[in-house]
Structure 1
């Protein structure tokens, strides 16, 4: 199989998995070989370069085992064609369900059959899902978005030209939305990582560098929240590289700073994080040459301030964190209840750090009130973190009242169900 632009599927999967260079993947394959019982195997960067070329050769069996093990996709998904199947039928399968991995597509087409209007229609549903995210429970919306993504995968081989690019971009956005729900709302980082790989593949089909940057930046959250700093920063390097191919708005660039700042905060590097946030504030203060992408509805100056307040809290700057977070709570849009649960949780943590258990419990209870109607796993994590810091006041009435709510029938069942 020939790839006019090189084997972008392998390259996308490599970068999404955290291997920002061909050398990094070669080193990882060499290191993983003994773990799979493969002895005496050494992979060089020249070999990886051949696999990412316009005419990638079919890898040897041991190489195939290592590639699928490290990148979590089969060989066809990674852009390789088995030597026994070089026909046009296989080429038509490149972005079907079996190629991307969401679901198989029963029918293959040899030529575009969909009208140009399918691009408008598919984009319209994607936009609707984007708006629904802020009010519909993730357990309800997530399967709908995944089904929409599966349909997009089926549509791709039936479209061509500009219509194909539009469907691919909307598909990338749908996969990104699904991954956001998996990571932030449902606390499923492994599933989110797999879905982000699919989002990056679709972004490459659309040749949309900015969407690719957004996907890569989201993928940095996964190792960042797990404390794997080097891996998170490598993914941010990739995200910034794609953003330079833009055109990126100042808000998008500031968001990249905020993502990296959160990863640094989670890894204990609060000084670096605060410097990044200061840089983001400076970026937002400049006039943007380019408009903000319409799909980027998760960031704003007040969201940047929310990042800042959390970092100030983790850095031990309690008075500053209280001031920042109180202002965020006042300025947050009324419809943004998910983020409000996080801010309330952070304010509760501020009061706990200042030895004010009653105030801490009051904020935590407000967060639980919202979580009862607007579930957000990240917000619940904040409340649970606060409760752990209140152990010194275990026998205080305010803490007991918080426990009654935190471990009530409805809250406990809700958490388990979600």
Structure 2
């Protein structure tokens, strides 16, 4: 059954996921972004959606409504006089009025897959929802199967969003969401570069992510990029850059009023930088701050997705690094054991990587049987995980074990070699 009058406006509002109250709030934000003195009340919105004939929005309200939905108000069910009609023509055409461009047959385009959208097509709320789900799924892909398949998936999504931003029509709100997702994708790719040892590639992705996050003024996303940049810079020997990234992250966190979880991530990166520099007293101070933030994580009301991975096991792991840097591997072992056992089963890639490091330290400490038992667990899990960093750790353990006099160690090295050969194409 066709919907006449401004019942169409109610359908559009609901399709965008708004109640009448949240729509009024979003309307106010959109008007502010457009620098237009326009507002609407819940009462007025109800009149627009229910009365026949409905009161015509004034010109300022018209601009905001058309920006929010990406269609002329005539397609929202309002009776619009000819002089108020918005043009449906490319704004670059010579001789036409430079006004908002709209696309006809919006409903059909919203239902189309994003990858099929061509020049002039409109990006709608349904497209955003599908894209956001796919971007969020990258965390699961990376944690369960590794950075290699996650990178391939991220690049496909990046191409689709880049195409949409370049040739499609969308409201300012939807454009901001697309740029936000692009920033998230670059952040993911920066991490994959770090995990894969492609440090220059990861750093480039960090710069792209920072630019995208700054464009939409998203300080929390900038922090997520800076914490990855700190890791990459440490690995590349650019310790000054790593320290600067940490300081910038702290500044943004203060400005944004970030909670203890975000501050915990930054403190851990600060500890990582100090440990790498041999500043063990600085690393201890950073870890003390990390413990304080960790104890208050349950007070966080909102945690960004990129920070949800962090937990007590990360603090234990960083503490173990501190002891290893100080030449005290046996003091590090309890913390490494606690880190591997305190990690959730959904973090398969991290779990295998942590266990591989534990196996290395155990081997160096002469705990050969336990080291080989840990590495056996890693090998069993690694067949489902494609992570260059994990592969390197397994290879290093194999080399070290193969050179030992212990028969247990040499047998373990042989099993690793055979398993890797069986898994080779």
Place the TM-score, normalised by the shorter chain, in its bin: 0.5 to 0.7
Q: 2:288 aligns with which of 269, 278, 288?
A: 278
- After TM superposition, list the pairs within 5 Å mapping 1:251-266 onto structure 2: 251-266=261-276
- After TM superposition, list the pairs within 5 Å mapping 1:201-240 onto structure 2: 201-240=211-250
Q: 1:243 aligns with which of 248, 253, 262?
A: 253
Correspondence for 1:145: 154
Q: 1:160 aligns with which of 155, 162, 171?
A: 171
Note the residue ranges of structure 1 that are not aligned, 5 or more in a row.
1-86, 90-105
Alpha-carbon distance in 2 for matches of 1:225, 1:155: 35
Correspondence for 1:131: 140
Q: Secondary structure at the match of 2:307?
A: coil
Q: 1:365 aligns with which of 354, 373, 376?
A: 376
Of structures 1 and 2, the one scoring higher in RCO (CA 8 A, sep 6+) is 1
Alpha-carbon distance in 2 for matches of 1:268, 1:226: 16
Relative to structure 1, is the Cα distance of residues 409 and 358 closer, same or farther in structure 2, using a 3 angstrom cutoff? closer
Q: Please state how far the C-alpha of 1:400 moved relative to its aligned partner.
A: 1.5
Q: Secondary structure at the match of 1:120?
A: helix
Relative to structure 1, is the Cα distance of residues 122 and 141 closer, same or farther in structure 2, using a 3 angstrom cutoff? same
Query: Contact 1:262/1:273 (CA < 8 Å) preserved in 2?
Result: yes
TM-score by length of 1: 0.66
Query: Contact 2:398/2:416 (CA < 8 Å) preserved in 1?
Result: no
- After TM superposition, list the pairs within 5 Å mapping 1:348-387 onto structure 2: 348-386=359-397
Give a deviation string over 1:165-190, Cα, whole Å, max 9, x none. 11111221122112212221x22111
Alpha-carbon distance in 2 for matches of 1:107, 1:212: 31
Q: Please state how far the C-alpha of 1:326 moved relative to its aligned partner.
A: 1.8
Q: 1:269 aligns with which of 279, 282, 295?
A: 279
Q: Please state how far the C-alpha of 1:316 moved relative to its aligned partner.
A: 2.9
- 1:118 pairs with 2:127: yes
Q: Please state how far the C-alpha of 1:137 moved relative to its aligned partner.
A: 4.3
Query: Contact 2:383/2:423 (CA < 8 Å) preserved in 1?
Result: no
Give a deviation string over 1:319-370, Cα, whole Å, max 9, x none. 4322222222222112222122222223223323433333333323332332
Q: Please state how far the C-alpha of 1:389 moved relative to its aligned partner.
A: 5.6
- 1:405 pairs with 2:419: no
Correspondence for 2:327: 316
Correspondence for 1:68: none
Alpha-carbon distance in 2 for matches of 1:213, 1:137: 23
Relative to structure 1, is the Cα distance of residues 139 and 389 closer, same or farther in structure 2, using a 3 angstrom cutoff? closer
Alpha-carbon distance in 2 for matches of 1:116, 1:372: 39
Query: Contact 1:344/1:364 (CA < 8 Å) preserved in 2?
Result: yes
Query: Contact 2:294/2:311 (CA < 8 Å) preserved in 1?
Result: no
- 1:197 pairs with 2:207: yes
Q: Please state how far the C-alpha of 1:258 moved relative to its aligned partner.
A: 0.7
Alpha-carbon distance in 2 for matches of 1:231, 1:294: 25
Note the residue ranges of structure 2 that are not aligned, 5 or more in a row.
1-90, 94-116
Q: Please state how far the C-alpha of 1:262 moved relative to its aligned partner.
A: 1.8
- 1:304 pairs with 2:315: yes
Relative to structure 1, is the Cα distance of residues 310 and 376 closer, same or farther in structure 2, using a 3 angstrom cutoff? farther
Correspondence for 2:186: 175
Alpha-carbon distance in 1 for matches of 2:125, 2:240: 44
Query: Contact 1:119/1:164 (CA < 8 Å) preserved in 2?
Result: no
Alpha-carbon distance in 1 for matches of 2:291, 2:262: 12
Query: Contact 2:143/2:349 (CA < 8 Å) preserved in 1?
Result: yes
Q: Please state how far the C-alpha of 1:289 moved relative to its aligned partner.
A: 5.5
Q: Please state how far the C-alpha of 1:372 moved relative to its aligned partner.
A: 2.6
* Higher gyration radius (CA): 2
Alpha-carbon distance in 2 for matches of 1:269, 1:390: 31
Alpha-carbon RMSD: 3.1
Structure 1 segments of 4 or more deviating over 6 A? Answer: 106-109
Q: 2:339 aligns with which of 321, 328, 331?
A: 328
Relative to structure 1, is the Cα distance of residues 331 and 217 closer, same or farther in structure 2, using a 3 angstrom cutoff? closer
TM-score by length of 2: 0.65
Correspondence for 2:102: none
